[in-house]
Structure 1
């Protein structure tokens, strides 16, 4: 089966959101086109779902400013603005995304003591979300990935897909992604390609 993973296409990461990615809403029409025309047997979406006061928020660390480096769970951590807090509009999927077509929503980032960029596991790699088991149960053979942001949640989701789903073909739909930092995006694309992720565009995804 061919599946599509939509990574964090939420208000918080789109223009007007608390952690907006430049041009982030441009991924929405790409996602909708693929949902409609990509021939996917399964549509999955990840959703950042942070409790108030999450440890990755700069506001949880006195003296820290957003985008400064800090530490969380013993690992270096970017201190983010408060974003995608549970049950707030910032955490909602973008209103123009075809959410009716989504078969499964995988929430992440619920543990206040560790961040979760990947849709598959926490950043400390100790706790898994269960998405890998779900996709195996559905007999997914090809997994296409797009969303926000290329250099963070998309990157780690794609890398974990390769590591945790052996035998599954993993493809990044590059024109369906936007990133935070241009250099970070380049590094992420290179790292994903080196790990075995195929880098394609939405036309190629629709073609097969």
Structure 2
């Protein structure tokens, strides 16, 4: 595979066992993208590679088990915004929270752990979901990439309709050119694909096979 310009970074979102079939929060065919992403990292086609890792403390606010009387996949109001309640997943220091062992992560220059605050979820690699006064506090990734001279970001990983989508949208808002590696992503459910495509189109994100 030909190398990409040094100004282009690869962002691999939440490739973790809990999002694979048999995991705590499985994405549809989530394991199907692992060989392709493993080959992409092994090719060393990107000078800069960032991996994100969902890394929740026990009792996280996004877990249905934290909210009495609520079940997974219900939506509640949290900090004045809608919050999907998930099964407990990617709990810190559990096997399901590890980066997928079938990938050689030595190619990654940065592993960004997100969702670490007990009261706030974080789908995006660039911003928390919610913050005081309706703000979304940054993770610092945009500044880190800029200091390395990055102006374009390519995204892959899980889940297509949540964390990868939000990361792509926030990357655009941060001023980066963005390419969404569609075939190297998978959704929580296939029903999320049409809204995801519409959201990417609205954001001006390029899709790549």
Q: Give TM-score, length-normalised by structure 2.
A: 0.91
Deviation at 1:38, TM superposition (A): 6.1
Matched, 1:61 2:67: yes
Post-superposition CA distance 1:37-93 (Å, at most 9, x none): 362111100110101000000000001111111122221111100000111111101
Q: Which of 11, 14, 22 matches 2:17?
A: 11
Deviation at 1:182, TM superposition (A): 2.0
Q: Which range moves more in the overlay, 22-31 or 150-159?
A: 22-31
Instruction: Write out aligned runs for 1:88-167 (5 A).
Output: 88-124=94-130, 125-164=135-174, 166=175
Give the SS at the match of 2:23. coil
2:38 corresponding residue in structure 1? 32
Q: Which of 31, 34, 48 matches 2:54?
A: 48
Q: Is contact 2:42–2:104 with CA below 8 Å preserved after alignment?
A: no
Give the SS at the match of 1:150. coil
Counterpart CA distance in 2 for 1:89 and 1:72 is 28
1:204 corresponding residue in structure 2? none
Post-superposition CA distance 1:113-140 (Å, at most 9, x none): 1111101111114321111111111111
Q: Which runs of 5+ in 1 are unaligned?
A: 202-208
The alignment covers a number of residue pairs equal to: 199
1:174 corresponding residue in structure 2? 182
Q: Is contact 2:44–2:107 with CA below 8 Å preserved after alignment?
A: no
Give the SS at the match of 2:162. helix
Post-superposition CA distance 1:146-177 (Å, at most 9, x none): 0000110010000000001x1x3210001100
Q: Which runs of 5+ in 2 are unaligned?
A: 1-6
Q: Give TM-score, length-normalised by structure 1.
A: 0.92
2:4 corresponding residue in structure 1? none
Closer/same/farther in 2, CA of residues 101 and 38 from structure 1, 3 Å limit:
closer
Q: Which range moves more in the overlay, 12-21 or 52-61?
A: 12-21
